[in-house]
Structure 1
Amino acid sequence: MTEPGLRERKKQDTRAALSAATLELALEHGLGAVTVEQIAARAGVSYRTFFNYFSGKEEALLRPDGAGLLFAPRLQEQDPALPPLEAARRALGDHLAALDADSEGWRLRLTVLAAAPEVLPRLVELGSAGEREMTEALAERTGLDADRDVYPALLAAVLGCALRVSLTRWHATGEERPLAALFDEVVDVLAAGLPAPRTD
């Protein structure tokens, strides 16, 4: 892989500075009280520059690299012989491994979100966009129609739920295992058909 040029490195640095400023200010004041103007000022850029990188403060918090899930290309890299659920598990595992590389930062981001119920509608919007991306990628892999066939949308919704459960448990319990390992455990339960838990 070639090194990014100077222009691209400057863009990466600006994106990182905006994301870091968002997290810092949200920890100090709460995400709901933070404005884009404050974020831009903390990062040393103009208000307009912020929107060259992020659609809003929630995206700056949750997508610090600006890339999002990148689910479709990661799914395409998986062995075509794999069943859809296993291929999707591995594609999402790659994403979660990247989050594990900055586990401290992500625990702080989740702490901010837990204290900001007012941003829930925007989080739902971002989550829905992610599930739509997964639906379309899974439809392409399975040869189904993303709008008419239920399987791709259902699998994407289940995977989105598995991600939320994994993130919530990882944050709330101070789980020491990698986030990707916790996600694997959740998907194992799904793959087994959600058997009733044993109580003996």
Structure 2
Amino acid sequence: MDTTVDLDTTVGLRERKKAATRQALHEAALGLAIEHGLERLTVEAIADAASVSRRTFSNYFANKEEAIFHGHRARLRAIVDLLRAQPEDVPVRNALFEAARAFSAELDGLDPALVAQRRLVRGHPSLVVHQVAAHSAVERELADELASRMPADDPEAALRARVLSAAFLTTLRAATQHWIENPDRPLSDVLLSALRHVAG
């Protein structure tokens, strides 16, 4: 009997269950915040809606705001994964454009959760802090990946990677917001047009 296969299966199942619980908590938090208002939203209500305990909630999220922004952070992290999937010999900017193209293609068609989250943030300015925190965490990951693709002897690599990462995520946010407000063409077209404006 191959115990390695059994262990891999068990670990894989456990991770899928964790991901499902995390997603259920996120959806409950976002849905309840929209339905009842952020001020009335409690961790207990989120846990009840997701059919888990208060303790289980704490194993996944530090607070209700973190639960609300889980989907946002996951979407941003997907960009880093898409960039990592690009061949190493592709120039940095080209790799970033291709990652953006793949990312936006997956989002084409208005995602109700994305729209709901944007409206929630507009209605509750206090959530901007948590949105920025989500961006900052992913910005560092993206910068690290970009820096790893730059020449090792480039003394400005770390700085260039940080600036490029910040500019890219800011452009993504602005393009996505524009697309939500003007969904007359695919997000991929809007995002790539916005990136070309930044690239000059």
TM-score, scaled to structure 2: 0.79
Q: Give me the whole-angstrom Cα distance separating, in 2, the residues matched to 1:47 and 1:126.
A: 23
Which aligned pairs between 1:169-180 and structure 2 lie closer than 5 A?
Answer: 169-171=178-180, 173-180=181-188
> Is 2:27 aligned against 1:20?
yes
C-alpha RMSD of the superposition: 2.9
Q: Assess if the C-alpha contact under 8 Å between 1:166 and 1:183 holds in 2.
A: yes
Cα distance in 1 for partners of 2:141, 2:155 equals: 10
Taking the TM superposition and a 5 Å limit, the aligned residue runs for 1:127-146 are: 127-143=135-151
Q: CA offset at residue 141 of structure 1?
A: 0.8
8 Å Cα contact 1:22/1:57 also seen in 2: yes
State the distance in 2 between where 1:64 and 1:161 align.
18
Q: 96-105 or 118-127: which moved more?
A: 96-105
Paired letter, 1:169 = H
**Is the partner of 2:28 in helix, strand or coil?**
helix
Q: Give the 3-state SS of the residue equivalent to 1:64 in structure 2.
A: helix
CA contact (8 A) 1:135 1:156 kept: yes
C-alpha deviation, 1:105, in angstroms: 2.2
> As a proportion of its length, which structure holds more helix?
2
Alignment of 1:154-165 (within 5 A): 154-165=163-174
Counterpart residue number, 1:84: 92
Change (3 A) 1:176 1:34: farther
Distance in 1 between the 2:46 and 2:155 partners? 38
Whether 2:193 is the aligned partner of 1:185: answer: yes
Aligned residues: 190
Do the aligned partners of residues 66 and 185 (structure 1) sit closer, same or farther apart at CA in structure 2, a change above 3 Å counting? closer
Report deviation, 1:27.
0.8
Task: For residues 130-150 of structure 1, give each alpha carbon's deviation from its aligned partner in whole angstroms, at most 9, with x where no partner exists.
Answer: 111111111111135799742
* Counterpart position of 1:151: 160
More deviation, 140-149/67-76: 140-149
In structure 2, runs of 5+ residues without a counterpart are 1-7
Change (3 A) 1:147 1:113: farther
Structure 1: runs of 5 or more not aligned: 194-200
Superposition deviation, residue 55 in structure 1: 3.8
CA distance in 1, matches of 2:166, 2:18: 33
Deviation at 1:151, TM superposition (A): 0.8
Would you say 1:122 and 2:130 are equivalent positions?
A: yes
User: Is structure 2 residue 54 aligned with structure 1 residue 54?
Assistant: no
Q: Judging changes above 3 Å, is the alpha-carbon distance between structure 1 residues 38 and 186 closer, same or farther for their aligned structure 2 residues? A: same
Asked if 1:167 corresponds to 2:186, the answer is: no
TM-score (norm 1): 0.79
Indicate how the Cα distance of structure 1 residues 159 and 13 shifts in structure 2: closer, same or farther if over 3 A, else same: same
Amino acid at match of 2:149: R
Q: Percent of aligned pairs with the same residue?
A: 35
